[in-house]
Structure 1
Amino acid sequence: MKVFKKSYLPHIFEAAMVTFGVLLALFVNECNEQRKIDNNTEQTLEFIIAELHTNITKFENSVAYHTQLKKEIDSTSQHITETDLQAIYYSNTKFKHFQLPSWKGIGIVEPDNIVFESAKMNGVFQEINIPTTQLISEAYQKMKAYDYLSENALEAFLNINSETKTLDVFRILELMKYDILNFEEYLQNHLEQTKEELQRVLDEKRYKK
């Protein structure tokens, strides 16, 4: 027994130390990798917050523009008769939408989504819990719905032709006055709330699974 102890104990101790060293190295490496993932996740969330802020500013400006157009359209429409509405738009001399004082185009917003799409492709959302992912995704889904609505309005303007009546143009303007403007006001408020909540989630690190 004494011979066994003298012969093998150093080797057992050495093997244990090697094993411990390997496990420690694996643990440190795993911690470093997790730290990199956490840093990347936090940075992505910061970029998403910045992207939301950019979109909020865009919608804020568009709301102001469409609100002014609404006033001018309402003022102009008071002088338009039923006969004017039924007239071919191109031949109508009493109203042209591009003659509105503030007219600078249809003024639809093109929301930024580069950071959001990059986060999806790079698998960042796999590191984020479901409530935080839903918070972000909902905001971008609503902006996508806005894209669909605004594209319809733009397409309607592009389809104005020699057969279009003045009434048809006013219907397009009604879409801008109500549907688009109301949606922009809603989105501006919703994105602001999302940005504030996401900032709280980031500060309190509530995004982790």
Structure 2
Amino acid sequence: MASHDAATALRALRSAVAACPATDRAELARRLYWLSIALRRIGKDGLAVKALSNAQRLAPRSRARTLYERFANGYGMPKSSCVEHDDYRAFCSIQIRKYLERVPDGRFADQDEIDTVLTMIADAWLKLYASTAISSVDCDEKLRIFREAGVAFPALRETRAARPGRVIVADFYRGRTQRTADRCLCGSGLPYRMCCGRIRPLYESDTV
């Protein structure tokens, strides 16, 4: 990889992942691992973490797991320089998705709308951070706080009368809903919040 252009390698690795049979879990995990390396080299850390997340689920004892735990934070997002920034990005992603659930097309109309919503979220974060001991609680409690927090978004345009319901993941073995701290049901061994229940940044596409 070091002697090859990362963009060229990325195209080849994406094709290799697409061509790999889903039944060959070890080989698919290996290809996703190398795809994540190429994605990181061109600055696409979000997609790199997604590729690693998929790889480590397929092969929990592989290099992909080690690299994923190094590069992903407790929310399953790319790790930043400090915990507070990790917290804010998780809060921001949750609130943006809440807002977009209210608009008919599920996307921003223009840059002015983006700027207004981001400003509202930033203001809400500062108030939340000042009034809550965020830094003293664990990741699971932070997620509960972030999801319960409401942001008084202005009526920038027509909104839906009712928001879609949130998908509830059930752990039938334990006879209750899946908690963020529980081991993920996929068998990866990671907490649900870092695996299948990780916070997905808005820019993250469905494919890598």
User: How high is the TM-score relative to the length of structure 2?
Assistant: 0.25
Rg larger in 1 or in 2? 1
User: How high is the TM-score relative to the length of structure 1?
Assistant: 0.25
Considering fraction of residues, name the structure with more helix.
1
